Amino acid sequence: MIRKVRSHLSQNEGLIFEQSSPGKIGYQLPPLDVPAVDPAEALGAAQVRDGIEGFPEVSEVEVIRHFTRLSTWNYAIDLGMYPLGSCTMKYNPRINEAVARLEGLAWSHPYQPESLSQGAMEVVAHLEDALCEITGLDAITLQPAAGAHGELTGILLVRALLESQGNPRKRILVPDSAHGTNPATAGIAGYGVQNVRSNDQGMIDLEELSRLMDDDVAALMVTNPNTLGVFEENIIRATEIIHAKGGMVYMDGANLNALVGIARPGDFGIDVMHINLHKTFSTPHGGGGPGGGPVAVKKHLEPFLPVPRLKRLSDSLTWDYDVPQSIGKVRAFYGNFGVLVRALAYILAHGGPGLRNATVDAVLNANYIRHKLAPYFDLPYKRPNMHEVVFSDDRQAAKGVRTGDMAKRLIDYGFHPYTVSFPLIVHGALMIEPTETESKQELDLFIDAMISIAKEVEEETEKVTSAPHLTRTTRVDEVTAARKPIVRWKP
Strand order in the sheet with 192-196: 139-141, 295-297, 272-275, 248-253, 217-223, 171-175, 192-196
Distances (CA, A) of 231 to 239, 259, 304, 468: 14, 9, 30, 35
Is 248 within 8 Å of 158 (Cβ atoms)? yes
The alpha carbon of residue 224 and the mean position of all alpha carbons in its chain are separated, in whole angstroms, by: 16
For residues 47 and 41, what is the distance between their CA atoms, to the nearest angstrom?
10
Q: Where are the domains of the chain?
A: 16-71, 95-348, 354-483
Per-residue pLDDT at 74: 82
Q: Are strands 272-275 and 419-420 parallel, antiparallel or unpaired?
A: unpaired
Answer yes or no: is pLDDT of 390 > 70: yes
Q: Identify the CA nearest to 247 among candidates 269, 202, 217.
A: 217
What is the pLDDT averaged over residues 161-183?
94
What φ, ψ does residue 181 adopt, rounded to 5°? -75, -20
Q: Which of 57-66, 214-223, 469-478, 482-491 is the most confident on average?
A: 214-223
What is the pLDDT averaged over residues 9-21?
81
What is the pLDDT averaged over residues 134-140?
98
CATH superfamily name and code, 354-483: Aspartate Aminotransferase, domain 1 (3.90.1150.10)
Per-residue pLDDT at 90: 83
pLDDT category at 287 given cuts 50, 70, 90 is low
The pLDDT > 90 percentage for the chain reads 77
Per-residue pLDDT at 285: 73
For the chain, the average pLDDT equals 92
How many separate helices (H) and strands (E) can be counted in the chain?
Answer: 16, 12
SS3 content of the chain, % helix, strand, coil (to 5): 40, 10, 45
pLDDT category at 89 given cuts 50, 70, 90 is confident
Which of 57-71, 258-272, 301-315, 347-361 shows the lowest per-residue confidence on average (mean pLDDT)?
57-71
What is the pLDDT averaged over residues 306-326?
96
The pLDDT > 70 percentage for the chain reads 96
Does domain 95-348 sit in CATH 3.40.640.10? Answer: yes
Find all residues with CB under 8 Å of 54, minimum gap 6, and list them: 17
For residues 285 and 76, what is the distance between their CA atoms, to the nearest angstrom?
12
What is the pLDDT averaged over residues 54-68?
91
Q: Identify the CA nearest to 185 among candidates 140, 228, 152.
A: 152
Which of 46-60, 68-82, 310-324 shows the lowest per-residue confidence on average (mean pLDDT)?
68-82
Per-residue pLDDT at 289: 62
Per-residue pLDDT at 407: 97
Per-residue pLDDT at 1: 45
Answer yes or no: is pLDDT of 480 > 80: yes
Answer yes or no: is pLDDT of 2 > 80: no
Per-residue pLDDT at 11: 66
SS3 140: strand
Distances (CA, A) of 490 to 14, 164, 487: 11, 61, 9
Is 449 within 8 Å of 415 (Cβ atoms)? yes
Per-residue pLDDT at 8: 52
Q: What is the pLDDT of residues 400-446, one digit of tens each?
A: 999 999 999 999 999 999 999 989 899 999 999 999 999 999 999 99
Which of 105-119, 282-296, 315-329, 357-371 shows the lowest per-residue confidence on average (mean pLDDT)?
282-296
Q: What is the pLDDT of residues 176-222, one digit of tens each?
A: 988 889 999 999 999 999 999 999 999 999 999 999 999 999 999 99
Answer yes or no: is pLDDT of 144 > 80: yes
